[in-house]
């Protein structure tokens, strides 16, 4: 599929009356079409069915480069799939997007796609760890959001348990970070983990909870 045809499909499903509200809400300075998520879901589902993995990567790259909000959402959704073979090009493209994140909405969709690639190959945690020392807020946050599936495992395998502990080490380093979105990401990770390993979350909070912002500490412990 050509990029211009994909963009036209997104525009055809848009509600221009929504565009100004979306721009005000998301705040990132780019074009907003006003295309609702259900419509993007429908389009990307059809594109995933029709395109090879290689063609999906090419279309996703073009959609992202357009710098249109809904096109970036669609780019991420195109690559959000548990099983993709081969997936090296998919992972490389998603990792290339991370330093360009500038808000939670697009970042979260891209991280959802990236999380599947991390879980498919845990050696990619080495790349993710590099993001934890970035001066950029959204890149640091992506390290936690993209590894969130590790917190949701009820019966982790040894490699997954090791990876989980690795992320908790990153979270501990993030505790002194006063950025709201970083504190929220730490709390989110711990809250989800508390459903499956509450004792580990209690141990984390016993050691590091006093350094967290009050709202984050409360959220992390909400399900304990």
How do residues 34-76 score in pLDDT, each as one tens digit? Answer: 999 999 999 999 999 999 999 999 999 999 999 999 999 999 9
191-223 pLDDT per residue, tens: 999 999 999 999 999 999 999 999 999 999 999
DSSP 61: H
Sign of the C-alpha dihedral computed for residues 132, 134, 139 and 141 taken in this order: positive
Percentage of the residues of the chain whose pLDDT score is greater than 90:
92
Owner of token pair 């050691």:
207
Burial-class residue 155 by CB neighbours within 10 Å (0-12, 13-18, 19+).
exposed
Structure tokens at 224: 């304990």
- Domain range summary for the chain, segments of one domain joined by +: 3-120
Give the number of other Cβ atoms within 10 Å of residue 103's Cβ: 16
Residue 85: per-residue pLDDT: 87
How does DSSP assign 178-199, residue by residue? --HHHHHHHHHHHHHHHTT-HH
- Among 81, 82, 64, smallest CA distance to 73 is for 64
Residue 209: per-residue pLDDT: 98
Query: Is the pTM above the cut of 0.75?
Result: yes
Please tell me the distance from the alpha carbon of residue 110 to that of residue 215, in angstroms, as a whole number. 26
Give the angle 206-187-111 at the CA atoms, nearest 5°. Answer: 140
Task: Tell me whether the omega of the peptide bond preceding residue 29 falls within 30 degrees of 0, making it cis.
Answer: no
Give the number of other Cβ atoms within 10 Å of residue 65's Cβ: 13
Residue 82: per-residue pLDDT: 85
Please tell me the distance from the alpha carbon of residue 186 to that of residue 193, in angstroms, as a whole number. 11
109-166 pLDDT per residue, tens: 999 999 999 999 999 999 999 999 999 999 999 999 999 999 999 999 999 999 999 9
Please tell me the distance from the alpha carbon of residue 9 to that of residue 214, in angstroms, as a whole number. 45
* CATH tag, 3-120: 1.20.1660
Burial-class residue 214 by CB neighbours within 10 Å (0-12, 13-18, 19+).
exposed
Give the angle 122-127-131 at the CA atoms, nearest 5°. Answer: 125
């Amino acid at each position: 599929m050509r990029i211009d045809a994909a963009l036209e499909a997104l525009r055809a499903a848009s509600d221009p009356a929504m565009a100004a509200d979306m721009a005000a809400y998301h705040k990132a300075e780019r074009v907003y079409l006003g295309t609702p998520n259900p419509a993007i879901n429908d389009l990307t589902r059809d594109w995933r069915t029709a395109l090879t993995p290689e063609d999906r990567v090419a279309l996703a790259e073009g959609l992202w480069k357009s710098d249109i909000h809904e096109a970036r959402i669609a780019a991420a959704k195109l690559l959000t799939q548990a099983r993709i073979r081969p997936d090296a090009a998919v992972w490389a493209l998603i990792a290339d997007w991370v330093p360009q994140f500038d808000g939670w909405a697009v970042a979260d969709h891209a991280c959802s796609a990236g999380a599947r690639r991390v879980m498919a190959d845990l050696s990619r945690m080495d790349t993710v760890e590099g993001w934890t020392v970035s001066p950029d807020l959204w890149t640091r946050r992506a390290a936690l959001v993209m590894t969130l599936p590790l917190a949701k495992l009820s019966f982790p395998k040894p490699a997954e348990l090791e990876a989980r502990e690795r992320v908790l080490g990153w979270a501990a380093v993030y505790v002194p970070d006063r950025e709201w979105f970083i504190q929220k990401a730490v709390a989110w990770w711990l809250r989800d983990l508390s459903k499956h390993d509450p004792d580990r979350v209690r141990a984390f909070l016993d050691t590091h909870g006093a350094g967290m912002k009050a709202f984050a500490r409360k959220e992390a412990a909400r399900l304990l």
